[in-house]
Amino acid sequence: MARTFFVGGNFKLNGNKQSIKEIVERINKASIPQNVEVVLCPPAPYLDYAAGLVSKPQVSVGAQNAYYKAAGAFTGENSVEQIKDVGAKWVIIGHSERRTLFKETDEEVAEKTKFALDQGLGVILCIGETLEEKKAGVTLKVVETQLNAVIAQVKDWSNVVVAYEPVWAIGTGLAATPEDAQDIHASIRKYLSEKLGADVAEKTRILYGGSANGSNAVTFKDKKDVDGFLVGGASLKPEFVDIINSRN
């Protein structure tokens, strides 16, 4: 079964109306294959604005975070219902920066994932190891532990996209080789098969999220378990179009 190629653009805490307009218009004008799904994730204040600018059917907008309560006295949090209300269809949950800088636990990530899915959003679920964990040789143990928390709460994975992001490769200029990424992705898919069944594992898209750019994206082209990318800094630049088109 061919899994639809998926490219997410995580703008992080960057951008303004002018720059986001330029990014979206660049995507709108670009030649993008029909068999690619693109999700643009600007900062929360610009979700509505970005969703209103998108004109291609294979392009949608996602949030960078969401809370596990629909509404209430939760100052500063993003509501799933409000994210949906402004036209966004996806949310990134468990990004390494949320885990490390804001101390989100595996259980909180799982709770957020379940709530977003239950309310009808697609979830880009981020997992990955730090440099210390990589050096200690516990990469698979780390990602399996992170997955286990979500597996315990989520039974329907049809709207989950897993993003493997080696934390040591984010913003450092370092990147896993395509062969390394394929090995880890294959191990993740094998683990999902053991826990959720072969059919779910085969259908679940697994993205690489470690410093993908316009130059290296094409080198992942023949890796059968790399189903796309979650892109950080490069999503703000013209080369993002090259990443989107790297399979064609």
What integer pLDDT is reported at residue 72 of this predicted model?
98
Check 95, 108, 144, 185 and give the catalytic one. Answer: 95
- What long-range pairs does 70-79 form, CB within 8 A, spacing at least 24? 70/119, 78/44
Q: Catalogue all structural domains in the chain, each as residue range(s) with its CATH number.
A: 8-29+61-66+75-228 (3.20.20.70)
What integer pLDDT is reported at residue 211 of this predicted model?
80
Instruction: Indicate if 202 belongs to the active site.
Output: no
Mean pLDDT of the 142-156 span: 98
- How many residues are given for the chain? 248
3-class DSSP state of 57: coil
- Tens digit of each residue's pLDDT (9 = 90 or more) over 196-236: 999 999 999 999 998 889 999 999 999 999 999 999 999 99
Q: Position 157: which residue type?
A: W
DSSP state at residue 111: H
Residue 187 CA to residue 142 CA, distance in Å, equals: 12
Check 37, 129, 165, 185 and give the catalytic one. Answer: 165
- Cβ-contact 121, 80 below 8 angstroms: yes
Q: How confident is the model at residue 168 (pLDDT cuts 50, 70, 90)?
A: confident
What integer pLDDT is reported at residue 114 of this predicted model?
98
Instruction: Indicate if 144 belongs to the active site.
Output: no
Calculate the average pLDDT of the chain.
96
- Tens digit of each residue's pLDDT (9 = 90 or more) over 105-137: 999 999 999 999 999 999 999 999 998 998 899
- Tens digit of each residue's pLDDT (9 = 90 or more) over 60-94: 999 999 999 999 999 999 999 999 999 999 999 99
What integer pLDDT is reported at residue 80 of this predicted model?
98
Q: How many CB atoms lie within 10 A of CB 171?
A: 13
Helix 178-196, helix 139-151: angle, nearest 10? 40
Mean pLDDT of the 36-47 span: 98
Q: How confident is the model at residue 1 (pLDDT cuts 50, 70, 90)?
A: low
